Amino acid sequence: MNNIVETMNLSKQYGSKKALDNVSIHVSQGDIYGLVGRNGAGKTTLMKIICGLAHQTGGDYTVFGKRGRQIGEVASRMGMLIESPGYFAEYDAKTNLRIKCRLVGMSDREEAERLIRLVGLEEAGKKKVKDYSLGMKQRLGIALALLGNPDIVVLDEPINGLDPQGIVEIRDLITRQSKENGTTFIISSHILDELSKTATRYGIISNGQLLEECTAEGLNEKCESKIELVTDSPSSAAAVLERIGFTKMKILDDGKINIYEQFERTGDITLALAAEGITTYEIVKQIGSVESYYLNLVGKEQE
């Protein structure tokens, strides 16, 4: 599948600080790309460059095949919410949306109403944006980013300020837009567990460097709970495991056996292997989660 957004060794330096250091990401049509990293990791800088709001100091990038200097040619196909939403605080949500419609040359007067319903701002009525809560301002920012059904939507920490119900609603909105309209999303967050509920692909960033890029399936496989078993005879050990009721397992190339069920039976495993004269060198139970995987990955990078 062709990438509609791609960065090639992208770097950005502010004085002596490297905000981005040779970052290469690949986003395909219809992806919900989760860009995850701690605050200050480089996520916002990367998004700004992709959207043409900042210039790189090294490397390059393409959006719809257009290189960085040509980004203006495809700007109308992109929507964005980066840092603070751009709005007129003295007006209500509908007026803000209608102003943006005029600015982008849209004459559809129903677009503002559609977006207000889409992001759940109907009850705001004619309340001025300056009187909105942080969560309501985020909803308006997302509505502004979605105006005109852009092909790519870039959202920087979109759930900031939202209550738990609001988080679920915005998550569902993003998933629905992707499935029904084929919209591609690039979403940043410092909460991998939340991103894992919507993302189809990930880029994990720390200290300006891309530590890993993988699909949702690949990440889930790495985070899967398992028993890791090392013995002196993997094939014989696997036969014993089958005999005592284990069916979900895999012998890896290095001879390690991963077992994906009955995690409470580590004692049964070692006893059954010992009875057959098979030495257990190591048996470790790993209860996986995307959050613990991320923290472990970032921790290793910092050591």
* 3-class state of residue 277 by DSSP: coil
191 in a structural domain: yes
Residues 95 and 36 in one domain: yes
Question: Taking all residues of the chain, what is their mean pLDDT, rounded to a whole number?
Answer: 90
Kindly report the CATH number assigned to the domain that includes residue 265.
3.30.70.980
**Residues near 75 by beta carbon (within 8 Å), at least 6 away in sequence:** 52
14 and 105 within one domain: yes
User: Are residue 73 and residue 149 in the same domain, yes or no?
Assistant: yes
Say yes or no to pLDDT of 233 above 50: yes
Residues 205 and 245 in one domain: no
The pLDDT of residue 204 is: 93
- Please check whether residue 49 lies inside any domain of the structure: yes
Q: What is the DSSP letter of 72?
A: G
Average pLDDT over residues 178-205: 91
Identify whether residues 72 and 156 lie together within a single domain: yes
For residue 255, the one-letter residue type is G
pLDDT in tens, 157-172: 998 888 888 899 999 9
* Four-point Cα dihedral 195, 196, 199, 200, nearest 10: 160
Angle 200-171-154 (CA atoms, 0-180°, nearest 5)? 65
Question: Does residue 81 register a pLDDT over 80?
Answer: yes
- Using DSSP bridges, classify how beta strands 184-189 and 257-259 pair: parallel, antiparallel or unpaired: unpaired
- Say whether both 179 and 274 belong to one domain: no
CATH number of the domain encompassing residue 67: 3.40.50.300
* Domain ranges, residue 232: 225-287
Enclosing H/E stretch for 64: none
**Residues 66 and 204 both lie in one domain:** yes
Among 195, 220, 245, residue at a domain's last position? 220
23 and 118, same domain (yes or no):
yes
Q: Is residue 293 a part of any domain in this protein?
A: no
* Residue 194 and residue 275 share a domain: no
Asked if the structure places residue 297 within a domain, the reply is no
Residue 296 in domain: no
Q: From 220, 252, 267, give the residue that closes a domain.
A: 220
Closest CA to 30 of 188, 198, 158: 198
145 and 250 assigned to the same domain: no
Asked whether residue 224 carries a pLDDT value surpassing 90, the answer given is no
In a domain, residue 143? The reply is yes
pLDDT, one tens digit per residue, over 7-38 is 999 999 998 899 999 999 999 999 999 999 88
What confidence score (pLDDT) does residue 154 get?
A: 97
In a domain, residue 154? The reply is: yes
From CA 268, how far away is CA 98, in angstroms rounded? 67
Q: What's the pLDDT at 153? A: 96
Say how far apart CA 123 and CA 162 lie, in whole Å: 16
Best-predicted range by mean pLDDT among 24-38, 96-110, 187-201? 24-38
Number of domains observed in the structure of the chain: 2
Residue 300 pLDDT more than 70?
A: no
Q: What percent of the chain has pLDDT over 70?
A: 98
- Which of 220, 255, 271 is the C-terminal boundary of a domain? 220
Residue 160 sits in the same domain as residue 259: no
Distances from the Cα of 92 to the Cαs of 106, 137, 291, in angstroms? 19, 11, 38
In a domain, 181, yes or no: yes
CA–CA separation, 227 and 267 (whole Å): 12
Q: What percent of the chain has pLDDT over 90?
A: 67
SS3 196: coil
Q: Which two tokens stand for residue 96?
A: 């803000």
Same domain, 71 and 145: yes
What is the pLDDT at residue 303? Answer: 43
